[in-house]
């Protein structure tokens, strides 16, 4: 098209009103929630960028699919549609529905991991790490060095460091590495893509050592779009062809359909190995449900099947990636430090350079996230030392490598003016960054503490 503006490739068919809590109301909500934004009620938030997970708008075709959902306990027609769409997309033979991504992780890791094993990944997402550690195995993050540098403009900052992967396998021995995972896009590393060349290199290493290779495929379509834009030889391929090539390189995947499944709930575990799949299904029956529904309603399976088709449409992906970059450009042009280049599903504010006067043990990214809510009712999420700090035996804490606030953009939900507003709020907070103080934790859980911890201002 000859015009510059990339428009939303949809019309709005149904709307939900936003509440506008006052500044005093927001302050009271923060106190009640112990300065943890997970403790806010949805109605206390004006623009909710906590997550892009399950928060998107479904299409009319998805809602229509829900009306024809088959709720048979066993052998539901909706399961076969779900299975066929995923088989066609991934080429993987065994498709196991789960209620969301972490259920797929739990089942996979409980089946393949033993205590003392090591799982390399570019960067584990928090639930993935927790599910590895719950099996008393070690989750090791081996993203390339550029992926740890917020300012690096590397086009594929989610890539696995292949030399570090080989070193890890040599160091711990292949018997203790039951699988290698790569997360596309690399959520905890800034929503950064992984190239096909890198996936091929991981495949070669896994072949050499006879180790299984799984994708954490939550944002596979966004990753495919970045490959189309940035990797030599892919400009003329469709997102579907690229996604198929990505999946053709792996032995299996875990998937949260709450992201690129364009659905409000759901996920799956897929693989080629029938014996492993059988073990996984046995566990599935114990905790999730019968293998043709896996904890989902028949109508959810329909919504996901349709979502997986829509998410690969070029007009959708162009708009999706552009709308995230639009927010990134807006705040970046005003001098706010962010993880460069912008990721697919979110803009990551770099609190370490933004709030350099707040030390890591006073959680600068938490301070920034709280302030964005206080200022404008915008809810983001801390991805820093609250989420990934490691308590040490002496009572201190090893800080996370990066102190980020993620502003995740729900799919097909907010318009350009919502995003303009968010940009204004971020810039207003940035202008008075020097006056912000840190937080200390007053209560925390033994794992995934960021969901429930309580804080107080230092
Ligand atoms: N893997 C990645 C890369 C994720 O981003 C998530 C969820 C999961 C696995 C787990 O999937 O939520 O369906 O159980 N990420 C959400 C987020 C929660 O906000 O980034 P789930």
Residue nearest to atom 18 of ligand 1 (CA): 53
> What's the confidence (pLDDT) of residue 137?
98
Pocket-testing residue among 187, 188, 253, 410, ligand 1, by greatest number of atoms within 8 A of Cβ = 187
> Can you name the CATH fold of 23-52+313-457?
3.90.1150
CA of 341 to the centre of ligand 1 (A): 21
**Local confidence band at 31 (pLDDT 50, 70, 90 cut-offs):** very high
> What's the confidence (pLDDT) of residue 196?
98
Q: Average pLDDT of 140-150? A: 95
**Residue pLDDT, tens place only, 146-175:** 999 989 999 999 999 999 999 999 999 999
> What's the confidence (pLDDT) of residue 392?
86
Q: Is the pLDDT of residue 1 over 70?
A: no
Angle at 334 between CA 332 and CA 336, to 5 degrees: 55
CA of 313 to the centre of ligand 1 (A): 22
CA of 52 to the centre of ligand 1 (A): 9
CA of 53 to the centre of ligand 1 (A): 7
> What's the confidence (pLDDT) of residue 103?
97
Q: Is the CB of 216 under 6 A from ligand 1?
A: yes
Domain spans of the chain, in order of start: 23-52+313-457, 60-310
Whether domain 60-310 has CATH 3.40.50.2300: no
Q: Average pLDDT of 29-39? A: 98
**Local confidence band at 447 (pLDDT 50, 70, 90 cut-offs):** confident
Residue nearest to atom 16 of ligand 1 (CA): 53
Q: Is the CB of 258 under 6 A from ligand 1?
A: yes
CA of 434 to the centre of ligand 1 (A): 33
Q: Average pLDDT of 336-358? A: 94
Q: Is the CB of 218 under 6 A from ligand 1?
A: yes
Strand pairing category for 267-271 and 252-256: antiparallel
CA of 256 to the centre of ligand 1 (A): 6
CA of 127 to the centre of ligand 1 (A): 7
Q: Is the pLDDT of residue 423 over 70?
A: yes
**Local confidence band at 395 (pLDDT 50, 70, 90 cut-offs):** confident
> Half-sphere exposure of residue 427, counting CA atoms within 13 Å on the CB side?
15
Ligand 1 atom nearest to 187, measured from its CA: 3
**Local confidence band at 379 (pLDDT 50, 70, 90 cut-offs):** very high
Mean pLDDT of the chain, nearest integer: 96
CB 159 within 8 A of CB 148: no
């Amino acid at each position: 098209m000859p015009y510059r503006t990339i428009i939303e490739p949809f019309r709005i068919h149904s709307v939900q009103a936003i509440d506008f809590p006052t500044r005093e109301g927001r302050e009271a909500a923060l106190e009640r929630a112990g300065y943890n934004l997970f403790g806010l009620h949805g109605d206390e938030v004006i623009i909710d960028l906590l997550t892009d997970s399950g928060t998107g708008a479904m299409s009319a075709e998805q809602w229509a699919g829900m009306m024809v959902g088959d709720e048979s306990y066993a052998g539901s027609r909706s399961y076969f549609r779900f299975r066929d769409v995923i088989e066609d997309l991934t080429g993987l033979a065994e498709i196991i529905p789960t209620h969301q991504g972490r259920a797929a992780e739990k089942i996979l890791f409980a089946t393949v991991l033993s205590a003392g094993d090591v799982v390399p990944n570019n960067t584990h997402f928090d639930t993935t790490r927790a599910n590895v550690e719950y099996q008393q195995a070690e989750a090791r993050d081996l993203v390339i060095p550029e992926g740890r540098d917020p300012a690096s403009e590397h086009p594929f900052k989610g890539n696995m460091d292949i030399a570090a992967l080989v070193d890890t396998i040599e160091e711990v021995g292949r018997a203790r590495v039951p699988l290698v995972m790569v997360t596309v896009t690399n959520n905890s590393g800034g929503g950064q893509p992984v190239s096909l060349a890198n996936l091929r290199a991981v495949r070669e290493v896994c072949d050499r050592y006879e180790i299984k290779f799984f994708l954490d495929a939550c944002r596979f379509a966004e990753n495919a779009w970045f490959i189309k834009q940035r990797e030599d030889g892919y400009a003329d391929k469709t997102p579907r062809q690229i996604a198929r090539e990505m999946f053709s390189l792996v032995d299996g995947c875990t998937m949260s359909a709450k992201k690129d499944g364009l659905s409000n709930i759901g996920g799956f575990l897929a693989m080629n190995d029938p014996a492993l799949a059988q073990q996984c299904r046995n566990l599935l029956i114990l905790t999730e449900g019968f293998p043709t529904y896996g904890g989902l309603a028949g109508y959810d399976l329909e919504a996901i099947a349709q979502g997986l088709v829509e998410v690969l449409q070029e007009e959708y992906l162009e708009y999706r990636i552009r709308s995230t970059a639009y927010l990134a450009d807006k705040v970046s042009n005003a001098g706010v430090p962010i993880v460069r280049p912008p990721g697919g599903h979110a803009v990551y504010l770099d609190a370490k350079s933004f709030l350099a006067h707040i030390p890591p043990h006073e959680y600068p990214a938490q301070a920034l996230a709280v302030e964005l809510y206080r200022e404008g009712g915008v809810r983001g999420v801390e991805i820093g030392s609250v989420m990934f700090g490691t308590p040490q035996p002496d009572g201190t804490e090893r800080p996370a490598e990066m102190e980020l606030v993620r502003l995740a953009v729900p799919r097909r939900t907010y318009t350009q003016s919502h995003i303009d507003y968010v940009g204004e709020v971020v810039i207003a907070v940035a202008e008075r960054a020097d006056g912000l103080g840190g937080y200390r934790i007053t209560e925390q859980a033994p794992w995934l503490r960021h969901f429930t911890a309580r804080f107080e201002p230092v």
